[in-house]
Amino acid sequence: MAKYELFSVREKRVRGDVPDVFSYDFIPPALRVQVIHIWGDTLGHENDRYTNRSSEIYGSIHKYLCRQYGCFALDDTPYSSAENKLRLFLGRCSTQLALDVIEVSFRHIDKLLRDSNERYSLGSTLGVDEAIDELNERFRSHGVGYQYESGQIVRVDSKFLHAQAVKPTLVLLTAKEYKGANAEFLNAFEHYRKGNTKECLSECLKAFESTMKAICAKRNWTFKPTDTAKGLIDACLQNKLVPDLIQSHLSGFRATLEGIPALRNKLAAHGQGQVVTEVPMYFASYMLHLTATTIQFLVEAEAALV
């Protein structure tokens, strides 16, 4: 059955009951349970009639973790299977240990299930890439700043400078004059968390343009409400939002600013024709953080004006 967004999830979003930044020190119980469901769809269950191979794999995961932790079992429940020990341990262990379990289990999934015979013997209903994509989507939807990539669980901000770009921008945009830009940037982040990459690009451009409009209005600089990014960039630079000295040294500054609408227009704004245009997550992440860094720069430059 195809996965779709539940009513309760949509309602949470409407109420604003969703995280607006990534967290790194808490793995929600629901996320832990969703990981276990992915195990079942890929590795099967030890008590399934036609998936005896499952017990070997769960046993291998359990043995590896016990060896690393210097213990004989992850759970003291008598006569408990390796699968059940892993499930119980994941349900109650610390965030760091939970990430260990997720990483080791998905390395087994990633390595073993590339073999079609292995998938058949396990009765897998979910492919390797689908399982990894679902895990990373679950991380994003819960606002947990990790993802599985190339055999490891990595922090999102270790790749995309989330803490240095998104968080400071959200703080700067709390000022009342940036209310519109703040709402649009939060929408962009929410779309990114949900994997809606095209919508993320569109909201990034809106937030970028709204920031420049707010600066122009605050400074009484001439601009039209209908101005697009190019006209707003011109207004900001003509009014020395960025000093000439900096502009001369940053020859690529204008190209960087204009890059935000250019990227969005190519991938998200216009009709895609007969071939469906896919915007990969890494590109949406780049766009989100480029927008955040640029907005932060513009707002701080305005604050520094005499």
For 2-38, write each residue's pLDDT tens digit.
Answer: 466 677 666 665 555 555 567 888 999 999 999 999 9
pTM value > 0.85? no
Question: Is it the case that residue 251 has pLDDT exceeding 50?
Answer: no
Q: Are residues 149 and 184 in the same domain?
A: no
Q: Is residue 100 part of a domain?
A: yes
Final residue before a domain boundary, out of 121, 137, 155:
155
State pLDDT tens for residues 164-209: 566 677 777 878 899 899 889 888 887 887 778 888 888 888 889 9
Tell which wins on pLDDT, 50 or 298: 298
Q: What is the 3-state secondary structure (H, E, C) of 114-135?
A: CCHHHHHHHCCCCCHHHHHHHH
Give the three-class secondary structure for 21: coil
What mean pLDDT is predicted for residues 104-119?
93
Q: Is residue 2 part of a domain?
A: no
What mean pLDDT is predicted for residues 121-137?
93
Degrees to nearest 5, angle at CA 108 with 107 and 111: 80
CATH number of the domain to which 276 belongs = 1.20.120
Which residues constitute the domain of residue 32? 20-155
Per-residue confidence at 160, pLDDT binned at 50, 70, 90? very low
Question: Is it the case that residue 272 has pLDDT exceeding 60?
Answer: no
